Chain A
């Protein structure tokens, strides 16, 4: 890498991190070195042909695919919905709407489809998740790594008009309906006794150590080193502080990594949460990471009467007390402060480091969306600076 603001070829940084994450980042750097032009999406015809073979290898010859249609949403993956039609034994047919998530050359966040697939499968019946149907971890079947899951109906925020906002604008009606469910799911996730056998793509982590967070820091430190076009001393200062102060985890949980309003679907009529989405950043670690992210003032919604709701849904103290009661796990304010720095630092790495790299290199089919999301860089750095000043 140079400091001239131009994308260049590989620069590997050797730091200890999960094996799959290491392999994933090596693949990213290899693609970067090999790819000379802008990323081009597969045409729908090519994709339909590959998808046909992918499905055939899983269900046999008796099926058809209908209504292949690109979906909007998200800043990192390409999404295509389609209907899988299979004959029923006693006549008629079964139609299942599915969603294929495909990984472009590079994206706002580089993640691993196999880990995403495994974590969603392992949580079926624990918290609401879309059914994970099949995965192509290395892209050998679909032309690029991809994950197929069930299409879940619902909305991520109440209907509204106007420009983008970090808040979902739940308002009193949806807050009343959604908050107790979301809290229960967050607490269940933290307390869930995951099984290593269901998560072979995740390296084991021991409770009573700070191994998990050190691996996470090394992951994002490496992303920063590989992606940034311009150095930033605040990021460096924060990464040193995070390494020096990495806390021990008491209970190793599945951490969602992006747990907030906007990442769950609900029925706008009943307010029932149908699915928690976007598990691509999930990892084994400390529940305080999800808590600190959810409590970020960026997602806070204030009512005209002055009352404030963290995550747009909860009064902070009520939320933390209920979370402790439902999960049976304590909330440690020191770790909460630590993970506030960590999550802001990670957000800053993505928005300040990775997003510009993608846009300058034209590595996604939605450069414009990634460029827009990069506007969150300043506010991520602002929150990082504020939280870091509080702990230094």
Chain B
């Protein structure tokens, strides 16, 4: 994504704080009230956006522990559980187990790794281009990866109105659910 999400939210908060709120009619109590709430919400979101991924994972881990504890307690006391519910619990724990055990790194670490990979790729590309030691395969690989990246970024900013093709795009959720890595081509 072109700009880290927390920076975009921070820019929104700054706009509300420094431009919009001072321009509101001081006698318009509902506008003043909602303006202040909007600002406080954006300021909270600036921090929340950095840890959303970590928050959800932490929650999954805790609930997986809790459901296992309760299920164990019920089993020990020989309290029967409906089969359908038991199956649902097993399915959930099966999905949660690897995620929790694997302990994916915090989002900020993933972002840093992504940027580091871009950096080493770029430096390597510069070496290849400077030596002119390739026959176009490197350029084709760069363009192929760029097509995927650009498509994803176009979806990300589709609502902005800059992209004339945006009306035909799937939603971001649909893209991440349904389009596996490398699947898209124009």
Which A residues form the contact surface with B (CB < 8 A)? Answer: 3-5, 38, 163-167, 229-234, 236-237, 240, 297-298, 300, 351-352, 355-356, 359-360, 362, 365-368, 370-372, 374-379, 381-382, 385, 388-389, 392
Contacts and interface: CB of A to CB of B under 8 A. Distances in A.
Given A233-B145, A356-B2, A359-B11, A166 B118 contact: no
A389 B139 CA distance: 9
Contacts of B112: 3-5
B7 A385 contact: no
Nearest to A2: B115
B125 A5 contact: no
Given A164-B162, A356-B2, A231 B154 contact: no
A375 B125 contact: no
B153 interface: yes
Given A355-B3, A356-B2, A375-B2, A236 B150 contact: no
B117 to A, nearest CB: 9
A306 to B, nearest CB: 15
Interface string B2-14: 1110011011101
B14 A385 contact: no
Contacts of A5: 4, 111-112, 115
Contacts of A165: 161-162
B171 interface: no
11 contacts: A5-B4, A5-B115, A164-B160, A230-B119, A233-B145, A297-B164, A356-B3, A359-B3, A371-B12, A375-B162, A379-B163
A233 B4 contact: no
A358 B139 CA distance: 30
Contacts of B136: 392
B24 interface: no
Contact of A166 (B2, B11, B146, B164): B164
B contact residues, range = 35 or more
B141 to A, nearest CB: 9
Interface of B: 2-4, 7-8, 10-12, 14-15, 18, 111-112, 114-116, 118-119, 121-123, 125-126, 129, 136, 139, 142-143, 145-147, 149-150, 153-154, 156-157, 159-164
A371 B3 CA distance: 7
Given A372-B160, A392-B136, A367 B14 contact: yes
B126 A236 contact: yes
A370 to B, nearest CB: 8
Contact of A38 (B14, B150, B153): B14
A368 B150 contact: no
A88 B153 CA distance: 58
A202 to B, nearest CB: 31
A89 to B, nearest CB: 42
Nearest to A389: B143
B150 A381 contact: yes
Contacts of B129: 236-237, 240
Q: Which 5 A-B pairs have the closest CB atoms?
A: A375-B160, A378-B153, A367-B11, A375-B157, A231-B122
A163 B145 contact: no
